[in-house]
Structure 1
Amino acid sequence: MNFEQLKPEIEKITQKTEGTVNDKLLSICTLLEKHIPYYNWVGFYFKNGDKNELKLGPYVGEPTDHTIIPFGKGICGQVAVSNKNFVVPDVAAQDNYIACSITVKAEIVIPIFVNGENIGQIDIDSNTPDPFTEADERFLEFVCEQVASIL
């Protein structure tokens, strides 16, 4: 499935009346990981209450020890501070990178805004070097807008 084919599937998930928010988030992770070959780990991080840290939410992929990430640390922590998309074509070239797996070559993180506030993000790791394009960014921004509508 390409991005345009996935959009209605994302909308279907977010518009379902049954299931919890976490169930829907996990369904989105599963859908993306299954249909986009270079999305090898797909997960959500959310602001942890009033603390300056992110807490791991639903995800699909290898287990991670990074269940709490301080603001400013790693790619996710930097997005929590900058409020901007962060595309990393080569994680080995990043000084402030938290390695989750030796197989990860690239990462993309897109913030989720609710009422103008950055409350979380979608984080995607790829085992493929430099796979992410502007089309990935636009699609994941769409996904984050849909997610924001259920939070």
Structure 2
Amino acid sequence: MAEDLVITRDASKEAQYQSIIPQIRALLYGETDFVANMANVAAALKEQFGWFWVGFYQVKNDELVLGPFQGPVACTRIKRGKGVCGTSWAEAQTIIVPDVEEFPGHIACASASKSEIVLPLIVNGEVIGVLDIDSEVLNKFDETDQLYLEQVIAILLNR
């Protein structure tokens, strides 16, 4: 299915999400391996939007551990409450950061990253990981991204 993705970069942000979300749903349909599904979600989002970095961290032994991603090498482990990812985990909420230099305690895994959105993956009231997306452009993410990326997470978590 991955080679069948239809990429629509010349459309509005909303239209791009409306195009890629059904494709992600089809890509994950019937596949039960969570790691494989995270990998395909990261790849599909990176292909569609061309963001600097797209990936997942999973909660393991009380820290976030790097999971499937697309982009340059990344921080491997993040403590709860540290940086944007650790804060999203601790607060169990989406965090949109227009300028990462202004986020208290930001962890600079890559100096090219300028803005970020992190969404928690919540199962039975517990955060099991986060979806982390970085851009080299300031103010790249907004409530539209949050709305549609939450739909992507719902698909990933089979909801």
TM-score, with normalisation over the residues of structure 2? 0.86
Instruction: Give the match for residue 98 of structure 1.
Output: 107
> Once superposed, what is the RMSD of the aligned Cα atoms?
1.4
How far the C-alpha of 1:133 sits from its partner, in A, is: 1.6
Residue 44 of structure 1 contacts residue 56 of structure 1 at CA under 8 Å; is this kept in 2?
yes
Deviation of 1:52 (Å): 2.0
* Equivalent in the alignment of 2:26: 12
Instruction: Provide structure 1 residue ranges, at least 5 long, that are not aligned to the other structure.
Output: none
- State the one-letter code of the partner of 2:41: I
Q: State the SS of the aligned residue for 1:59.
A: strand
Aligned residue in 1 for 2:59: 47
Please state how far the C-alpha of 1:56 moved relative to its aligned partner.
Answer: 0.9
Unaligned 5+ runs, structure 2 = 1-7, 9-15
Q: Map of 1:104-143 to 2, 5 A cutoff?
A: 104-143=113-152
Q: Counterparts of 2:126 and 2:158 in 1: how far apart (Å)?
A: 13
Counterparts of 2:151 and 2:39, CA distance in 1: 17
Q: Residues 23 and 127 from structure 1, CA distance in 2 versus in 1: closer, same or farther, beyond 3 angstroms?
A: same
Q: 2:35 corresponds to which letter in structure 1?
A: N
After superposition, the C-alpha distances for 1:54-85 in whole angstroms (9 at most, x for unaligned) are 11110000011x11111011100011110010
Deviating above 4 A after TM superposition, structure 1's stretches of 4 or more consecutive aligned residues are none
**Which residue does the alignment assign to 2:72?**
62
What letter is aligned with 2:29?
Q
Q: Which amino acid counterpart does residue 56 of structure 1 have in structure 2?
A: L
Higher relative contact order (CA 8 A, sep 6+): 1
